[in-house]
Structure 1
């Protein structure tokens, strides 16, 4: 991540506004950074663990049958959409999100474009989730005991957050805020959203739904904040959307439901006492 971001760090790049679009150099650096977790996972699986079945080890497979694949992908799309909408509504009710109304005439075209852009960028999100959900979380979860699972969620979420450190220092996710605000905010966001991605992975036995959920949160969800806001109002991600405190409340409530119903435990899906290998069948 640091190596990929070095061209931007060397030029003292800093994102100053939430509406600011990324340029070509920024996009190239981000793309290079996003493949790093997957490359690390594949390297360790092939050269250290010496496994010949990389796809199975990293859960890089489609849920079967195909009807189940479609349902898993729709859930991975719908859940982040509902969480984002609820976070925007909460922020608007609290007076922190400048809701500008829904303009039905242009919303359809915007939604189609946002989904298309998400699908185009989808391969890059495999680069992250093969590392987090394909490799790191199952290893940290170990035998699937309660303490092991809590450790896996906390450590994977922390790694997920701190991996973003270079972009946080450049104001990437929270423009206008110093690092001592943006880093804890990112840590809170990742610790809360990671169980959602893990749930998508566990219930399907595949890393693919987690990839879709992550892609939605990082692209369409961010676009929703801008699309439905007053175009003249300043935007502060710390107070709106999934990455802000309204999102923490909404996501935290959903994660609490998942935890209380046992859905964050691999054994809920028939994995017994091991979290290292998630079965294809889910409830």
Structure 2
């Protein structure tokens, strides 16, 4: 599985072994981390249901799997001298650009979530109870900051490792689209153990939850990729992903009527309103050329 001295780091053979190694380790790590919950019969039946200590530990271990898989593939298969360069693990420069990139990584998911909740409310699918920020907003942002290391565990794998290598292995517009779809699908199916336990779609059968997760991930992944491409760093993608998985989910609960039923398929970014607003935004990014890595290379060359 390792690179020999006769092979180029970027050769097709090395690239294939590297991708396969990454996927096997990332998926195996997820299943191993979730094994205690799967064997224990854990099941999430309601969107308002919280998680206990064991669930939190298993989730944290699982989220580290993509990063560990990427690190192994980069050092042991590709034999690259710099892990940071290979996974875009750097801050955007100069510092004002860092601030703008991080602020955008918060503002865009917040705007998409608000638009999805508004659309769901207008359609009668979201039991809107009013905007209540107060202490919740500070607690939500604090929780996001605490969770950031966990999301580095995921995005170093998906945005730092997998997507760039799939892009290099493809050519033309069709190849670029294929790289987006394959990365989004791999990202979604990696969640299969949690989907089987009702994690993202509580109360829903796996044959409903899995296709819904595929749609959600294939649509939202270009947003994370755009944040990563425009900054040249994986950090904004980490922030955007963390917002979607923590604050965005919290917004759905916080702004809902206390007595209203919450169905993730019908509200928020993981339901049809989120698919609509995210699809519109991704379409804008695609039409304007902002999802092409070459778009940013051309701007830097001017």
Same fold per superposition (TM over 0.5): yes
| 1:210 CA drift (Å) | 0.2
- Corresponding residue SS for 1:270: helix
Please say if residues 114 and 220 of structure 1, whose CA atoms lie closer than 8 Å, have aligned partners that are also in contact. Answer: yes
Counterpart-to-counterpart distance in 1, 2:152 and 2:298: 24
Please say if residues 137 and 152 of structure 1, whose CA atoms lie closer than 8 Å, have aligned partners that are also in contact. Answer: yes
Q: 1:21 aligns with which of 25, 47, 50?
A: 50
Please say if residues 80 and 216 of structure 1, whose CA atoms lie closer than 8 Å, have aligned partners that are also in contact. Answer: yes
- Corresponding residue SS for 1:100: coil
Quote the residue 1:141 is aligned against. 167
Normalised by the size of structure 2, how large is the TM-score?
0.88
Quote the residue 1:255 is aligned against. 282
Quote the residue 1:276 is aligned against. none
Counterpart-to-counterpart distance in 1, 2:173 and 2:52: 44
Q: Is 1:118 the counterpart of 2:118 in the alignment?
A: no
| 1:145 CA drift (Å) | 2.4
1:63-212 alignment to 2 at 5 Å?
Answer: 63-103=92-132, 107-142=133-168, 145-212=172-239
Cα shift readout 1:157-212 (whole Å, capped 9, x = no counterpart): 00000000000000000001100100000000000000000000000000000000
Quote the residue 1:222 is aligned against. 249
- Corresponding residue SS for 1:15: coil
Please say if residues 63 and 204 of structure 1, whose CA atoms lie closer than 8 Å, have aligned partners that are also in contact. Answer: yes
Counterpart-to-counterpart distance in 2, 1:146 and 1:126: 29
- Corresponding residue SS for 1:35: helix
Quote the residue 2:261 is aligned against. 234
Counterpart-to-counterpart distance in 2, 1:282 and 1:13: 53
Give the number of equivalent residue pairs.
272
The verdict on how the C-alpha distance between 1:217 and 1:205 changes in structure 2, with shifts beyond 3 A counting, is same
- The runs of 4+ residues in structure 1 deviating greater than 6 Å are none
- Corresponding residue SS for 2:245: helix
Which runs of no fewer than 5 residues in structure 2 stay unpaired? 1-29
Counterpart-to-counterpart distance in 1, 2:74 and 2:178: 22
> Which region of structure 1 is more displaced relative to structure 2, 17-26 or 263-272?
263-272
Counterpart-to-counterpart distance in 1, 2:269 and 2:114: 9
Cα shift readout 1:239-265 (whole Å, capped 9, x = no counterpart): 000000000000000000000000000
Counterpart-to-counterpart distance in 1, 2:227 and 2:266: 26
